[in-house]
Structure 1
Amino acid sequence: MLMDGAMPEPSDRRSRKRLATRRAISLAADRLFRERGFDHVTVDEIAEAADVGRMTVFNHFARKEDMFFDRDEEGREILQETLRRRDPGVSPIETLRRLGHRLVAEQAPFVQFSDGSLDFVRTVEGSETLKARARAIRDEIAQVVTAALSESVGRDPGDPDARLAAGLLLATWTSAFILAHQTFRLRRDAEEAKAVLLAIVDKGSVGLKAAMAGTPYA
């Protein structure tokens, strides 16, 4: 489900064309989801609204839920790239804490609080299918972060310390997003919601560093 913020434009023509098709499908799906609710829209209806074939839709999105969580892949790439480019003098946990602050400062779409973000949360809350996919995405991201953390310090991909750090990190960020969205829903103040998010990320990072003391992740 599209929210504010644009993705970087690819440089080559083929990639731009593919991205344009993906955006057209996502926009059509977004409009139909808003009008009728996620569970009442079919893939065939999305394909017709985007003026593409059914198989074209599946070439870009493996399942209908992925059209809703259309920034999931982008978020994973940001996490991985941030750890790959980590300053060797800054721990992985601190690097990810700073990422949270950078995303807020750059007004990234992942940390936007608006009527659109409220619609996004309400739609998830109203669909068992989307809630199940959200839980699955969280588990998948935990695996991505585990591997990226391990790689960033030269340990094996299945390092138990990395798995623990990733689990604690995801718990922190999940709590931060939930409480920030609740704050925005009650107060309608985007800046206050961002402050709540960053305060929890900071506090969670302190606890995470303590929990991971003696490992290269802290």
Structure 2
Amino acid sequence: MSTLPDRRTRKRLATRQRISDVATRLFFERGFDHVTVDEIADAADVGRMTVFNHFPRKEDMFFDQDPEARQVVLDAARNRDPHVAPIVALRLLAHRLVAEERPYIRFGDESSHFVETIAASDALKARARAIRDEMVNSLAHALAASVDQPADDIDAHLAASLLLAAWTVAFAQAHQDFRKNGAAKLAKEKFLSIVDKASTGIETALRDTLYGAIDRDS
């Protein structure tokens, strides 16, 4: 049975969210590179060490939704229906996340600010690349485990690399379209159309592996 967080946990989560919200507002207003940790601490009414207790790096305040997004993707790979091929399961996940309007797959003014802030900062671009590399490795391990293969299975790493590259392209293209026409609905459709097209190609390329087909032992 699930239980509600205790008072101390709720207070800690509320403090973390306040720091993140303040940091994001300042990053959007002034640019990531022009905001210091001390300024964030002052604006959030907390100490400098409190900020670092919640966010080891300044970049982590900007990418504060990354841990949740990673976990959702990894869970989809690990806990997929055995009658659904891994690549298909992740394609279906993209559709579900868009339908649920998860904050990390949204297309609107705030998400456009998010993308623009990354583009204006070398530090954020470097961290975004590192996150993608870390995620490729984690997803490859999750995919391999889901079909009882070793963590270093080359097909799993190929599948993870191709899938995340496709999602990255789809996300960037959808935001580019949103900036042109301001239509969130069309941006969602563009994102999913690219994900679908790429997933079909990846599934075909890996059709003779356990990642592009249903488990042979299921």
2:196 partner letter: D
TM-score (norm 2): 0.92
Pair 1:159 & 2:153 matched:
yes
Aligned match for 2:47, one of 53, 77, 85: 53
TM-score (norm 1): 0.92
Q: What's 1:211 paired with? A: 205
Pair 1:80 & 2:71 matched:
no
Q: What's 2:90 paired with? A: 96
Residue segments in structure 2 that go unaligned for 5+ positions in a row: 213-218
Q: Tell me how far apart the structure 2 counterparts of residues 10 and 183 of structure 1 sit (CA, whole Å).
A: 41
Q: What's 1:4 paired with? A: none
Pair 1:109 & 2:103 matched:
yes
**For 1:33-44, what aligned pairs fall within 5 Å after superposition?**
33-44=27-38
Q: Tell me how far apart the structure 2 counterparts of residues 10 and 204 of structure 1 sit (CA, whole Å).
A: 40
Q: How many residues align?
A: 210
* Secondary structure, counterpart of 2:211 in structure 1: coil
**Displacement, 1:17?**
1.9
Q: Tell me how far apart the structure 2 counterparts of residues 158 and 16 of structure 1 sit (CA, whole Å).
A: 39
Pair 1:65 & 2:59 matched:
yes
Q: 1:67 to 1:150 in 2, by over 3 A?
A: same
Contact 2:28 2:114 in 1 (8 A): no
Q: Deviations over 1:163-197 (max 9, x none)?
A: 00001001110110011001101111100000000
**For 1:161-180, what aligned pairs fall within 5 Å after superposition?**
161-180=155-174
**Displacement, 1:10?**
5.7
Q: Tell me how far apart the structure 1 counterparts of residues 109 and 47 of structure 2 sit (CA, whole Å).
A: 32
Q: What's 2:127 paired with? A: 133
Q: Tell me how far apart the structure 2 counterparts of residues 18 and 10 of structure 1 sit (CA, whole Å).
A: 14
Contact 2:16 2:54 in 1 (8 A): yes
Q: Tell me how far apart the structure 2 counterparts of residues 116 and 168 of structure 1 sit (CA, whole Å).
A: 28
Could you list the runs of 4 or more consecutive aligned residues of structure 1 that deviate by over 4 angstroms after TM superposition?
none
Q: What's 1:3 paired with? A: none
Q: 1:163 to 1:210 in 2, by over 3 A?
A: same
1:170 partner letter: L
Q: What's 2:137 paired with? A: 143
TM-align CA RMSD: 1.3
Q: Tell me how far apart the structure 1 counterparts of residues 11 and 177 of structure 2 sit (CA, whole Å).
A: 39
Q: Tell me how far apart the structure 1 counterparts of residues 206 and 105 of structure 2 sit (CA, whole Å).
A: 26
Q: Tell me how far apart the structure 1 counterparts of residues 210 and 4 of structure 2 sit (CA, whole Å).
A: 35
Aligned match for 1:196, one of 190, 207, 212: 190
Q: 1:12 to 1:152 in 2, by over 3 A?
A: farther
